[in-house]
Amino acid sequence: MNCDSGAILVLSGPSGAGKSTLLNEVIYDIGECYFSISTTTRKIREGETNGIHYHFVGEEEFKQDIEDEMFLEYAYVHGNYYGTSIRPVKRALKAGKLVIFDIDVQGNAVVTNRLGDIATSVFVSPPQLSELKHRLEARNTDTQEVIDKRIDMAKREIQRITEYDYLIVNDNLEDAADVLRTIAKAARLKIPRSDINDFTQNWEDIE
């Protein structure tokens, strides 16, 4: 009875945990979905495309959208704003799609608070901090100062794993992808509280 109402799958984890790689592995196996593209004030990186990887905007425009309540959630991370526009999310849910968020722990807390009855959350992590450091350095996209900040942030994020429904240790990509496929399918079966109330009220069909 929840198939027509859509559902939400939240992915969080340290930068370098491999969330995007995991999604690319499973995206064609989990049914119709909508990947929520975050809006950010950070500078575009080489190889990124505006409107595909992020919506890149100036800080003034971002702050105006905050005042206009255009974000489902937003956060200030590593010196930049990141946020999730609410309008396309609502459209996707109404169409019965699985809406996928790649957001930080602050964003997950907001989504869970506002849409928890249709949201399933997953924390993705490398097996150890040393592996995360290796991956960040191997990307060769950030300065050492930024890498150090990301590592410090990861140490704080890891303390909030208990706020999530699932933990995926992304050590072996194939195994991690299999787990994510199962979770994504289960997320579609999560029944909104309103539907449960309707079912309960109509369950007693005899006197």
Q: What is the mean pLDDT of residues 22-45?
A: 92
User: What is the reported pTM?
Assistant: 0.81
Is residue 206 in a domain?
no
Domain, as residue range, for 161:
7-198
**Residue 133: which CATH number?**
3.40.50.300
Is residue 2 in a domain?
no
pLDDT tier for residue 51 given thresholds of 50, 70 and 90: confident
Is residue 116 in a domain?
yes
Is residue 132 in a domain?
yes
Is residue 51 in a domain?
yes
pLDDT of residue 2: 45
Residue whose structure tokens are 């994504």: 184
State the chain's maximal CA–CA distance in angstroms: 71
Is residue 41 in a domain?
yes
Closest CA relative to residue 19, chosen from 138, 108, 112, 122: 122
Is residue 48 in a domain?
yes
Is residue 128 in a domain?
yes
Q: What angle do CA 120, 123, 125 make, to 5 degrees?
A: 160
Residue pLDDT, tens place only, 108-119? 998 888 888 899
Residue pLDDT, tens place only, 63-74? 999 999 989 888
Q: How many domains does the chain have?
A: 1
Residue of higher predicted confidence among 65 and 53: 65
Distances (CA, A) of 29 to 10, 11, 20, 35, 183: 17, 17, 15, 14, 12
- Burial class for 48, CB neighbours closer than 10 Å (0-12, 13-18, 19+): exposed
Neighbour tally for 129: CB within 10 Å: 14
